[in-house]
Every structure is written in C-alpha cells, then in structure tokens.
A and B are shown apart, each in its own frame.
Chain A
Amino acid sequence: MKKEKTMKLSLPTEELMGSGHLACQGCAATLAMRYVLKALGQKTALCIPACCWSVIDGPFPHSSLGVPIFHCAFETAASSASGLKAGLEMVGDMETTVVAWAGDGGTFDIGIQALSGAAERNDDIIYICYDNEAYMNTGIQRSSATPYGAWTTTTPVKHFKNRPKKDIDAIMAAHRIPYQATANTSYPEDLFKKAKKAKEIKGTRFLHIYTPCPTGWKSRPEDTVKLGRMAVQNCIFPLYEVENGEKYTLNIKPREKKPVNDYFRLQGRFRHLKEEHLKFIQAEVDHSWERLLKLAEPK
C-alpha cells in the first residue's frame, strides 16, 4: 500500500485576502498583508494611507480584503488609527484590533509626526510599515527609507542616494513602546508569530516589514523571496524584537554572515555601484550589525 505523505502547515489556511488584488508580480507587500491578516484574524480594521496598498486593495466599490478598511490621508495612518480605536470603543467594540498599515514614505517621512504622537501617547494600535524602500506607488522616488547607493527616479545614477536609510526602529525604540519588531515576508513563520504576539499586547506596537519590490528594485519577480532571505543572511535587514525600547532580542543570527555583494547584483537599482561603494556599504552593514549584537547581548 502506498504511504501518503503529509506536510504540516505552519500557517493557518484561512485567507482574509482575495486573489483579485491589483499588485505587481512578485510584490512582497501582498505577502505581508496576507500573513499579517492570518495572524490578526477577521476582527481587524485597517487604516491605509496613500501607498501601494491603497491601489492594491482595488478601486471602489471593490476590496480584496475581508476586513474593513479606512483609506485615510497620507500623513494620518497613526492618527486615524488612534481615532478609529477610540471611536470603536465608544460604540462598544472593545475587541477589534486597529492597524495602521503604511508604506515607508507614509511612515519614515510624511507620517512620522502622527506616528510619534501615537507612540508617545501609547495609543492601543498596531502600526505596520511595509518597507519597499522608496515611493513605489508614485513611480519609484526616493524616501528616507531608501538605502545608500540606490537609484530611484529622483536619485539618478549620476546622483544616487548618498545618505543611509533612516533608522526608524531606533526612533521607535526611543519612544519606549511596549513592543516592536522587524519582520520579513521571506520568513513567514517569524512574521506570523510577531503579528500574533503584537495582537496580544496593549499599547502602541510597531512592525517594520521588509518587502522587496521587483518594479522599483529592478529585480526579477521570482527573486522576491530570495532577496528577502539574503537581506537577513547578510545582515542588511536583521530580524529582531524590542520590548519597552530596551530589551532587544535577535531572532535570527546567521551561522555565516554573507557578504552584501550578491544581494546588490540581483537588483538593477544598484547596478551603477562600483567596488568602492560596495566596500563602503559592507563597512556600514558590519558597523550596524555589531551595534545590534551589543544591544541584544544578554544583560
């Protein structure tokens, strides 16, 4: 008799995101939404400011999600979420998890004031930034989340981005919020676990999800998952959690820290970089990694 092979699924099979969305091929922001909703469940409400997801969800009167959405003004993801949470509680709904779901532009740049305000008040919301490292929805313009060396339509190769990515996680840690974590769609179980954990905590929670964007990064759609794994293995985007702005936990420590070069070769946005630039980038990555290791050392 033939023995049936079974595989244990690591994530719930229930889907709150339909297939009829409008994302580009290989978009990791869709994976992020899918995994997060699996963790948060149907009693979730989203505030989505201007970002790729305000298009991905689908035009009026359609929506590809099984949870309610307030499409809010660009700079108001956090303040809208604070208001929505207060409003829901005042009409007797104490259960719904309210999520601000914003891109890197809406978080690192135009939305940072409202985010800082909500975090300082410790409003009971989960703020999720899916970070594709530029204004992708408007056609690949640099944001303060764009890494050093990247081409975008506003940082042409002759004048590529010459400042490092803003350290939003350090900024959030400085607010001493109860929980924050970095996550990555190429590590879905880790992402799922963090979203679940965030759901159980009260106060302002912040998830920073790394989401490769083939359209903006000039990478192949089939490399999206690979790029996500590489960014963790070479320590460009380490996976860690911070509790109360103090307790750092490193989730994945690569056995062998990979050099950054291969990661850069897979992306057209870095094609113009010379050896000296890559060396500079490697040194910066090493420096940040060492700093993180120190923060995560057992005290």
Chain B
Amino acid sequence: MKKVIMGNHALSWGAQLGRAQVIAAYPITPQTQVVELLSEMCANKTLDAKFIKVESEHSAMAACIAASIAGARTFTATSSQGLTLMHELLHWASGGRNPVVMGNINRAMAPGWSIWTDQNDSLSQRDTGWIQFYCSSNQEVVDTVIQAFRVSEAVMIPSMVILDAFALSHTYEVVDIPDQEKVDAFLPPFNPPIRLTPTAPHAFGGLTSPEHYFELRYKLQKDMEKVPDLVEQTGREYEKMFGRYLGQVEDYRCEDAELIFVTSGTAGYTARVGVDQLRQEGVKAGNLRIKMFRPFPFAKVREILTKAGKVAVVDRNISYGHHGVFYQEVKSALYGRDHNVPLFGYITGLGGRDITPEIYKEIAQLTLAKDKPEEDITWIGVKR
C-alpha cells in the first residue's frame, strides 16, 4: 500500500507494523506527530499496545526498559533535549541488554533554543551502547524501524532510528507501507531467553562487583561486533521479501570516484544530487552515506574509501575541542591501513542551516584544489 506520509508518521507506521507492545513517550518538537499518530493507532486498536503517557523523557525510557525486561516489545521517540535527558537511561537499556527501539529526531541543542536540525544530540550519545541508524528518506524510516526490532532483539542491544528535524520529520514522501503479514513473517514476536517473572524470580541489575562487571561489558562489545554482519544478513532478507535493501552504508557512484563525500542523514540524500551535478561538469564524484553509525561499519568504509582519490567528510555536528564526529570516525577507521587517501573535514549546516547541492560543489572545489588538507575543520557557510 502506497501512502504519502511525513517522516514522523513513518516512525509511527514502523512501530505499528513491528507490533510494539508498550510505548512510553513524551512530546517534544519536532517529534510530536510520532506520538500523536501512535496514540490514535492505540485508540483505534490498529496497534495492540499500552501507551504510557509519561511526564518526562527520563520516565519514558525507564518505563520502556522495565517493560522490555518483562518481555514486551517496546518503542519510544524523542529529540534533542529529550534524548539528552534520557542519557543515564540509555546506558541502563544497553547495559541491561534491553532491545528498546527509539526514534530520535535530530534537533540542535540549546542554548539558544533551536528546533532545527543537527546531529549533536544523538552523536553525543555515541558511547552509550546503542545501535544508531541515520535515515535519509521516509521509506527508509519505516523499513529501518522494522529491521531495528529484528536486529536489536537478536543481539539484545537497543537501537536508535534517527531522522533530521523538518528536513525529514516534516517532509511528506510516498512510502510503500509493507503488508502486515509479510512483516510478521520477517519479524516474529519478541521472545527473550530471560525475562522478569515471579515464576522464576531473578534480580536484574543488582550490585555487580569487579569480579563480574568487566565480563558483562566485554559481552556487550562482542555482541555489538556481530551487528554489522547481522545488518547485512537481515538487510538481504528484507530485500528478498520487500524489494528494498537496507545496509550499513549506501554508496553512490563511488566505483571510479576521484572524490568521495562521506555523509549521513538527509544531507546524504542531497549529496547524490551534488554528485550528479559534479559528474555533469566532469568531476568524478561519489557519495558514501553512512546509515549505521554504531557499531561503526569499519569494513565497508575501508573497502570503499581506500579506493578513492580524495575523501571529503561532511559533518553536521561538532565535537568541541576536536573535529567533526564522522571525520574523527573515518580517520580512525582508515588509520594504519595501506592507502594514500587524503581526508578532508568539513563542518556545515549546524542548527538547521540548509545543506544544498551548491555546498557540495563548494566542498568539491576546495578539496580538489589541494593535495592534502591544511586543517582538520574547514567551515562551510559560517559568517565570520
């Protein structure tokens, strides 16, 4: 069934098709339509779930975690200030191995108040032990939520499905809504090996001495390391059933590229337009959009970027006192490998300033004009 829906509703549709059983959420601009539609879905009984209308994002995540421990499939959605209020609980979800799936709308952090997009909210949750998927279309949002349940529950690690404020959250696109029966075949009910029940009483998350803690964290990392292959495998399976492949990265015209952009989110979609325009002008450009940021798709990134002439990483975020976050990550992925690819780091579009095809042309000009980068951050479009 094809429908014209907004990005936020794509999250709600993903949660309904995935048969989320407990939803706990709190409203925040620009996420509100996610919870509005979910409320309707629950009220109309098209979704058989309990929706706990909590008094904060902190409680939203706490309720989801506890429901997940009971063996229920759980979903929530938030953005920016709400996500960072949850920060403590994000560790709780991953450390407790609770496969909660959450939508996050990328919105710049206050102060000053901003409701427009950048990635600093979710990227500052980088080390919380969550799988992170960045989406660039509403179709991808629906498909990714369904896949996120499957991947998360297989490794018992929570997932974040991320989309840009307004550029995607409020943009209407045609989406092919998958058939419920087919989704049910792809995604069986959540059936965790251990759950909280009085019939087999256990204490979850109790005081853990140095004798055991280390091993619990080792196991979390080892299971995180399984995720890239799992995403490939479930992505191929999804493709067979639904005709759309979901992977760790999307490479566009990279095979013969002298310049590859590294992008994410909707900026990664715009990059394809930039690449096409550059190709028309004779520049062999390509685009590597990173869809899965955690765990980092090392193998894919190395395979594609080491064949490039030059790489320009475009960050809509910044780690203050360091560089753009994707730039850091790509650098670390390529470090010590046998290649001679110069890496250029660009920061642009903070706080929702538009990233247009022209920006990619500017970045291409700057990158092609130099043999090597002279600085780690080149600011694009900043007023100085």
Contacts and interface: CB of A to CB of B under 8 A. Distances in A.
Given A70-B69, A114-B55, A117-B56, A87 B203 contact: no
Contacts of A197: none
A116 to B, nearest CB: 7
B49 interface: yes
A76 B59 contact: yes
B49 A90 contact: yes
Contacts of B196: 45, 68, 70, 84, 88
A213 interface: no
Interface string B306-348: 0000000000000000000000000000000000000000000
Contacts of A140: none
Interface stretch (A58-66, A159-167, A262-270, A274-282): A58-66
Contact of B65 (A78, A83, A88, A120): A83
Nearest to B59: A79
Interface in B88-125: 88-89, 92
Interface in A197-241: none
Contact of A86 (B22, B58, B198, B203): B22
A76 B88 CA distance: 11
Contacts of B74: 83, 87
A91 B71 contact: yes
A189 interface: no
Most chain B CB atoms below 10 A, which of A55, A87, A121: A87
Contacts of B60: 79
| Interface core residue of A61, A67, A73 (most chain B CB under 10 Å) | A73
A255 to B, nearest CB: 42
A55 B55 CA distance: 29
Given A86-B63, A87-B69, A117 B54 contact: yes
Interface in B210-234: 212
B44 interface: no
A247 interface: no
Nearest to A95: B198
A27 interface: no
Contact of B69 (A76, A84, A89, A90): A84
Contact of A83 (B49, B63, B212): B63
Interface in A32-84: 42-45, 47, 54-55, 57-63, 65-73, 75-76, 78-84
A123 interface: yes
A45 B63 CA distance: 15
B280 interface: no
A113 interface: yes
A65 B196 CA distance: 14
Given A45-B198, A73-B62, A96-B198, A86 B204 contact: no
Contacts of A78: 59
B50 A86 contact: yes
B70 interface: yes
B266 to A, nearest CB: 32
B52 A55 contact: no
Q: How large is the interface on A (under 10, 10 to 19, 20 to 34, 35 or more residues)?
A: 35 or more
B158 to A, nearest CB: 14
Interface string B39-74: 000000000011011111011101111111111101
Interface in A108-167: 113-114, 116-117, 120-121, 123
Nearest to A97: B198
Contact of A93 (B197, B200, B205): B197
Nearest to A116: B55
A73 B383 CA distance: 44
Contact of A66 (B63, B88, B201): B201
A241 B65 CA distance: 32
B206 A63 contact: yes
B63 A90 contact: no
A84 B88 CA distance: 19
B21 interface: yes
Nearest to B212: A60
B89 A83 contact: no
Given A86-B52, A90-B50, A71 B204 contact: yes
A55 B207 contact: yes
A113 B58 CA distance: 10
Nearest to A68: B201
A82 B116 CA distance: 33
A76 B89 contact: yes
Contacts of A123: 52
B198 A71 contact: no
Nearest to A46: B203
Contacts of A96: 197-198
A60 B206 contact: yes
B24 interface: yes
B198 A44 contact: yes
A88 B203 contact: no
A71 B203 contact: yes
A65 B201 contact: yes
A114 B62 contact: yes
Nearest to B208: A60
B202 interface: yes
Contacts of A76: 58-59, 62, 89
A34 to B, nearest CB: 16
Given A60-B208, A73-B92, A90-B72, 18 more contacts: A66-B201, A69-B203, A69-B206, A71-B203, A75-B58, A76-B62, A82-B59, A83-B24, A86-B50, A86-B70, A86-B72, A87-B68, A87-B72, A113-B59, A116-B55, A117-B54, A117-B55, A117-B59
21 contacts: A45-B197, A60-B206, A60-B207, A63-B201, A63-B202, A65-B201, A69-B204, A71-B203, A71-B206, A73-B62, A73-B89, A75-B58, A76-B89, A79-B62, A83-B62, A83-B63, A87-B68, A87-B71, A87-B74, A96-B198, A117-B55
Interface of B: 21-22, 24, 49-50, 52-56, 58-60, 62-72, 74, 88-89, 92, 195-198, 200-209, 212
Interface of A: 42-45, 47, 54-55, 57-63, 65-73, 75-76, 78-84, 86-91, 93, 96, 113-114, 116-117, 120-121, 123
Q: Which 9 pairs between the two chains have the least Cβ-Cβ distance? A: A87-B70, A83-B63, A87-B67, A117-B55, A83-B66, A79-B59, A76-B62, A87-B72, A63-B203
